[in-house]
Structures are given as C-alpha cells and as structure tokens.
Amino acid sequence: MPAVLIHLPGYDEDAPDSAPALVPRLDVPMTSKTATRFLYLAFGLFIVASMTYYVMQTIGGFKIMMRGPEHARIPFRVDDDLLTISHLESEAVSAGLKPGDRLVEARGAPYRGRPQQIALWGGSQNFVHTGAPLDVVVLRSDGSIHHATIHSVSGGPPVHSSLEWTIRTLVQALPLICLLIGYWVAAARIRDPNAWLLLFLFAAPTALSSPPDY
C-alpha cells in the first residue's frame, strides 16, 4: 500500500522533539491612578514623620524656656551614635573630662542614648538639680576608664521677657511655616518631581535644626 503524506500547517519535521514551551509574558502596567495613590501614601507618611519630629522639637524648646534655675545645665553634648562627648562646659573640664571621651555610665546607670539625657536634664521628675553632684564614667581613646564627679551649675533663669518669648516663638514657628508651604506645593502637584524637591527643601529647616538641649 503506497504511503500517504499528509501536510500539517505549522509542522516542521526538523524541529527538536522537546521544543521549549513559550511562557506568555504578563505585563501589568501601573495605571496613572495607581501611581497617584502610591505618591499620596508616601506623602502622608512624610507628613506624619516630619510633623512628629517638629512637635518633639517644639515641646523640648518650650520646656527649656519654662524650666527654672533649679535645673542644672548640660555639662557636655553626647553624640547619639558614638556616645562620645563634646562641647564641654567648665564644670566638665574641671572634672577631668576630655572631648572624645565615650560616656559609659551616668548616675550609676549604663548610658545608652538620648532618652537618658532627656531624663537627666529636665525630661523627668528625677532631673539633675543645680549644685548636685553628677557621677559619670567615661572610656578614654586609649581604652582606660575614667570616673568623674561633675558639680552641676545652674542652667540659667527661665524666660520672662515678652520680647524674648516672642522671638523664640517666631523661631519655633518658622520651620512649621516652611513645612506647611511644602505640604501645599506637593499636594497640589503630587506627580511633579519639582514639587517633591520643593517639599524636601522646605522641610530642611526642621530636619537640620539641632535637637534641644534638655
């Protein structure tokens, strides 16, 4: 019986038996509405973070203005990351402390960061009083341990002058005004990169301001 050849469209007898299957590519484009929602979500998170930081800064500043002469001044500044001290006041120098010493212990408790500093200088009921000794332990750059007793001095009288209150209030309000302008610009043109750039620029006064010295 003669062989019958059947032609099948698309069939190639030279093709390998196990040809790889073609996986369809799924392209899910981000629609304009979806992108806008993501931008507004990021914008909302930025507002929460920046306003929280501003409120904490403002409360700390007004606490300093209202505290009385019974509050001792901070004898040095402590780096939040390295825990090293700098900007030493005269009472800290007299106690033998040096710039670059790492604060290990304060008032008999291991020093771990800014919350303890806030508690010691006005952020709690157990703050350091003027004239009270403050025992600290520092680690020198050469690895030696130094124990020091700082005789605290007054941080100064509270603010009573109306002019000084007005000036300090305006200084505290300036970062808020900048933030509100940045919020307005970004909300009006949420998809404009230049609007986000202006938002970050207007937030700079708040972000770059020094934390209050409690």
Q: How far apart are CA 22 and CA 103, in angstroms?
A: 64
pLDDT tens track for 22-45: 545 545 455 688 888 999 999 999
pLDDT for position 26: 46
| Type of residue at 30 | M
Tell me what pLDDT residue 211 has. Answer: 57
How does 180-200 read in b/e, with b if 16+ C-beta sit within 10 Å? eebbebbeeebeeeebbebbe
Q: Each residue of 43-99: pLDDT tens digit?
A: 999 999 999 988 887 877 777 666 666 777 888 999 988 999 999 999 999 999 999
- Say if pTM beats, i.e. exceeds, 0.85: no
- Residue 101's pLDDT is 95
One of 3.40.50.720, 2.40.30.10, 3.90.226.30, 2.30.42.10 is the CATH number of 77-151, namely 2.30.42.10
What's the whole-number average pLDDT of the chain? Answer: 80
As a three-state string, the secondary structure of 61-79 is: HHHHHHCCCCEECCCCEEC
Checking if the pLDDT of 105 tops 80, the result is yes
How far apart are the C-alpha atoms of 205 and 143, rounded to whole Å? 38
In the chain, domain spans:
33-66+159-208, 77-151
pLDDT of residue 69: 67
Check whether 212 has a pLDDT greater than 80: no
Euclidean distance between CA atoms 79 and 103, whole angstroms: 9
The one-letter code for the residue type at 41 is L
